Amino acid sequence: MRRGRPMGRRAAWAVMACGTVAAVVLMGSGGTPPAPGWVVVAARDVPTGTLLADGDLARVEVPAGTALAGVRADGAAFTGRRTVAPLAPGEPLTPAAVGGDGAVAPLQPGQRAVPVPAAQSGAAMPLAPGARVDVVASRGEGAVGRTSVVVWNAEVLAVVAPDPAAAAAAPTVVLRATPAQALRITSALNFARDVRLVARPPDEADTRPPAAIEARP
């Protein structure tokens, strides 16, 4: 991440305004100005949907007491996150620029992102990025019915809002999975009668799920 990059006009005006207020307060109180601080800003024009890397960010020094609400002094909170809005050069970054304060890591080699329509998976559940769920599928009808856990302890990567123009608007839950888990989830979505996501505590041990449940006549 670069340091000392000049701020853009919008960011500069914001910091100058805060600095003026801070200076007036200090003059009135007779106190000694504290040491300056740092703010993370965009190092260039950053379009929406950019996966932020060190070269996209810069740290600029600002007078003490001039940091805007929500800004960060360390770019680690943003590196590897994807922007949800465009950024101008020198614009201070806040968690809102990357969709919030969630600590969800990007996909790693050997991982897949699997979308699960919430209409098929218990849309009333208050899921958020970072939550842990089991994927449960039911197959068959009546006495030959069978319910089993397809994938357990899967991490929620994102909850995608529905398209307002869609006839049957429902959010989509995106799960982190291995290639084998991705195939099992996709198979369940294609062939199972019902697929649900069951929320689990984030600190629960990653133990194997119970055996499949057979329907009773």
- Residues 48-94 pLDDT 10s: 878 888 899 998 887 776 656 667 778 887 887 778 788 999 898 88
Is residue 216 scored above 70 in pLDDT?
no
Residue 133 CA to residue 1 CA, distance in Å, equals: 35
User: Percent of the chain having pLDDT more than 70?
Assistant: 67
User: Percent of the chain having pLDDT more than 90?
Assistant: 20
Fold classification of 2-98 (topology level): Type Iii Antifreeze Protein Isoform Hplc 12 (3.90.1210)
pLDDT (tens digit per residue) in 15-55: 444 444 344 333 444 555 556 678 889 999 998 878 888 89
Angle at 110 between CA 107 and CA 112, to 5 degrees: 55
Pick the range with the lowest mean pLDDT from 48-57, 94-103, 126-135, 192-201: 94-103
| Domain boundaries of the chain, sorted by first residue | 2-98, 112-214
Tell me what pLDDT residue 21 has.
38
Tell me what pLDDT residue 20 has.
42
Tell me what pLDDT residue 31 has.
53
Average model confidence (pLDDT) across the chain:
75
Residue 187 CA to residue 139 CA, distance in Å, equals: 11
SS3 69: coil
Tell me what pLDDT residue 53 has.
87
